[in-house]
């Protein structure tokens, strides 16, 4: 009898000890999880503080500022991302931290473009805008129209200056711009191998239209009298951008879906990548899906004209500012940076 009672007591005691041990394990695991969560939160807050300090420093520095800084590679051993999102309604940007399945949003009172990366980061400032990890890719040609007589000065390192034929100086989006009369005014740059761009290409600038034409307005054209061209950008009679690429063996016309409004400055861009895909932009935003050129891209040694076709037709009635040509396909963030600068 006593032996049976002892066996029962042993089972009860063992069960109690197992229960207590299980509870201790659960409590310990919860404490570890809480400690890990606290540590994760502290790590994110540490990164947030470092970013806030960098953004605050950059915001008071002059244009041309450049600084490299390093953030932790992980949060409590976990990979993380930190994506910059614009919030124009409150004149701020916010950074979305993602660690595993968790997200945290932090607001910053700064205008920032680009993205933050774990590890090494580079911040630059241009025209009051801070950019993160956007390597500055220089245009092949850059007409800011700060100097217009007797030649249009190219402010890129290539010094591809142009000759003006009649356009007048007006107030631009940034300093001076050039007004074209819609009859016979244009700029011309003689052929240069650096402008014979048959691969990746980006054309950007600002335009202020007086009206829509009865024919396509010519913005930029490197075309001969037969309209053979590796690139040509115009504005249709209904106000949309039109990109043309034409060779003796084929012709491609691509139209942007967005209509350029009249009598205000609008930033435009067209990008052709190395696969022939073309994307139109207006005021820094892509308009419509990408399209694809189907004809060869061939340069025929023609001069570059702005405001008029090489055949002497399609004159632009409006103003242009900050016209740039790149021999690379800029990314959406780089288009935004081009517009900001």
d(CA 208, CA 319): 5
Task: Say if CB 127 and CB 111 are below 8 A apart.
Answer: no
Q: What is the pLDDT of residues 54-103, one digit of tens each?
A: 988 988 998 778 899 999 998 888 888 888 765 544 445 667 888 877 78
pLDDT for the residue numbered 229: 93
Preceding peptide of 329 cis, ω within 30°: no
pLDDT for the residue numbered 35: 39
Q: For 222-282, give the DSSP string.
A: ---TT--EEEEEEE-TTSEEEEEEEETTEEEEEEEEEEPPBSS-EEEEEEE-TTSEEEEEE
d(CA 6, CA 25): 28
Residue 162 has which token pair? 């142009």
Question: Which band of pLDDT confidence, cut at 50, 70 and 90, is reported for residue 34?
Answer: very low
Specify the pairing of strand 285-286 against strand 229-235: unpaired
Number of residues that make up the chain = 341
d(CA 285, CA 290): 13
Cα–Cα distances (Å) from 322 to 4, 144, 166, 266, in that order, read 98, 4, 18, 11
Question: Which band of pLDDT confidence, cut at 50, 70 and 90, is reported for residue 117?
Answer: confident
pLDDT for the residue numbered 131: 82
d(CA 272, CA 241): 14
Q: SS3 of 186, please?
A: strand
Q: If you search the block for the tokens 């034929």, which residue do you land on?
A: 165
d(CA 239, CA 138): 29
Prediction pTM value: 0.68
Task: Domain ranges for the chain, please list them.
Answer: 1-136, 141-340
DSSP 73: S
pLDDT at 4 over 70: no
Q: What is the pLDDT of residues 281-301, one digit of tens each?
A: 999 999 999 999 988 899 999
Task: Say if CB 326 and CB 137 are below 8 A apart.
Answer: yes
Architecture in CATH of 141-340: Sandwich (2.60)
Q: If you search the block for the tokens 């048959």, which residue do you land on?
A: 198
pLDDT at 232 over 90: yes
State mean pLDDT over 41-50.
85
Task: Give the strands of the sheet with 102-108, arranged side by side.
Answer: 80-87, 92-99, 102-108
């Amino acid at each position: 009898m006593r032996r049976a009672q002892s066996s029962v007591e042993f089972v009860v005691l063992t069960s109690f000890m197992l229960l207590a041990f299980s509870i201790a394990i659960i409590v310990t695991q919860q404490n570890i999880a809480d400690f890990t969560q606290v540590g994760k939160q502290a790590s994110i807050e540490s990164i947030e503080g470092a970013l806030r300090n960098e953004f605050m420093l950059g915001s008071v520095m002059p244009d041309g500022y450049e600084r490299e800084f390093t953030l932790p590679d992980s949060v409590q051993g976990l990979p993380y991302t930190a994506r910059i999102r614009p919030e124009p309604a409150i004149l701020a940007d916010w950074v979305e931290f993602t660690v595993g399945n968790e997200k945290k949003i932090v607001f910053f009172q700064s205008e920032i473009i680009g993205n933050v990366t774990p590890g090494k980061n580079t911040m630059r400032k241009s025209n009051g805008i801070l950019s993160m990890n956007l390597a500055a890719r220089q245009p092949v040609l850059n007409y800011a129209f700060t100097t217009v007589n007797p030649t249009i000065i190219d402010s890129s390192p290539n010094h591809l200056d142009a000759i003006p034929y009649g356009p007048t100086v007006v107030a631009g989006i940034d300093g001076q711009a050039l007004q074209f009369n819609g009859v016979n005014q244009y700029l011309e740059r003689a052929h240069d191998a650096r402008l014979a761009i048959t691969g990746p290409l980006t054309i950007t600038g600002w335009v202020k239209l007086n009206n829509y034409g009865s024919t396509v307005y010519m913005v930029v054209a490197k075309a001969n009298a037969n309209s053979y061209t590796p690139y040509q950008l115009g504005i249709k009679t209904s106000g949309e951008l039109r990109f043309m690429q034409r060779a003796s063996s084929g012709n491609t016309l691509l139209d942007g879906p967005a209509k350029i409004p009249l009598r205000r400055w609008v930033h435009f861009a067209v990008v052709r990548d190395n696969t022939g895909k073309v994307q139109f932009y207006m005021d820094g935003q892509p308009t419509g899906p990408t399209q694809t050129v189907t004809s060869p891209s061939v340069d025929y040694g023609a001069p570059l004209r702005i405001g008029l076709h090489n055949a002497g037709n399609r004159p632009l009635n409006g103003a242009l500012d900050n016209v740039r040509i790149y021999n690379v396909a800029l990314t959406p963030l780089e288009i935004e940076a081009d517009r900001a600068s």
